[in-house]
Amino acid sequence: MSKVSLEGQVAVVTGAARGVGELLARKLSARGARIALVGLEPDALKQVGERLHGDSAHWHADVTDHEAMTRVAAEVRERFGRVDIVVANAGVASGGPFTESDPESWRRVIEVNLIGSAVTGRAFLPALTESRGYLLQIASLAAITPAPMMTAYCASKSGVEAYAHSLRAEVGHKGVRVGVAYLSWTDTDMVRGADQDGVMRELRQRLPWPANKTYPLGPAVDRIVAGIERRAVHVYGQWWLRGMQGVRGYLPGIIGTVGQREMRRFADRLTGVRTGLVGAGGAADEQHRTASTTQRH
């Protein structure tokens, strides 16, 4: 598909304070897009905005809050006059055995990654319909293949993949294109946070090549930008993920067999695995929820 120029386009990026969202905002801005940054950390978002090349603004909002995101969508539309691109990137992760997992953290992964993506889509689809724009849902290798110790994350990313595919069929006739972006382990705060736990790090290192590597952020985001320019249905942050689509039907059985063996190997070390949200983004989310609970009481 031919590329669409990003010059003057208005792009909304959720989870824009760091990682994929922050670098994506910078690369879209460098191509002439006007950027609306959305996230939980206003100071960090302000700093990101100050590093952008052109017109930008930031909004503090929880993507799971329908009223807040509806307000943000209206204010972005008022501030920029239109919305052409929305990247539903906001996400958190947790790890560890399901039976030992913190129920609140487990639920929060589903709420942010899946419900938050749907809330984002619901809020911005009217504006995207006006502009015949593009919604890109950030998914993961976790949507293609299951993995032990990652039940919440795999469930959430499988969910957003199915949601985005279903939505594409609903809104395509209105001129809105919907894409799904897949990334393997990429050098972000979230992945580094997960690697702080020895068991999680060793389990990942024992995955077969090329899924056992951590990939640099820059090339992955370049592929996402190229996908946005093409309004692509599928975007692959690492080249080999495209090939995974053809074999994904076999993966649950393979992972089930291999995973049991590996879990048996690590059985005596599982009691110390961290079960909360990982990385600085996870810490920011937990801080936000604590503050919200305190305000209600």
Active-site positions? 153
CA 39, chain centre distance (Å): 12
Give every CB contact of residue 265 below 8 A, 6+ residues apart in sequence: none
Separation between Cα atoms, residue 107 and residue 278, nearest integer Å:
14
Both tokens of residue 22? 């922050």
CA distance 83 to 123: 11
List the strands of the sheet with 177-182, edge to edge.
56-60, 34-39, 10-14, 85-88, 134-138, 177-182, 234-236
Residue pair 238/114 in contact by the 8 Å Cβ criterion: no
Task: Give the span between the Cα atoms of 66 and 89, in whole angstroms.
Answer: 16
- CB 49: neighbour CB atoms within 10 A? 18
> What does the alpha-carbon distance between residue 277 and residue 105 come to, in Å, rounded to a whole number?
6
- The first and second tokens of residue 257, run together, are 């067999």
Among 120, 118, 125, 159, smallest CA distance to 139 is for 159
CA distance 253 to 245: 15
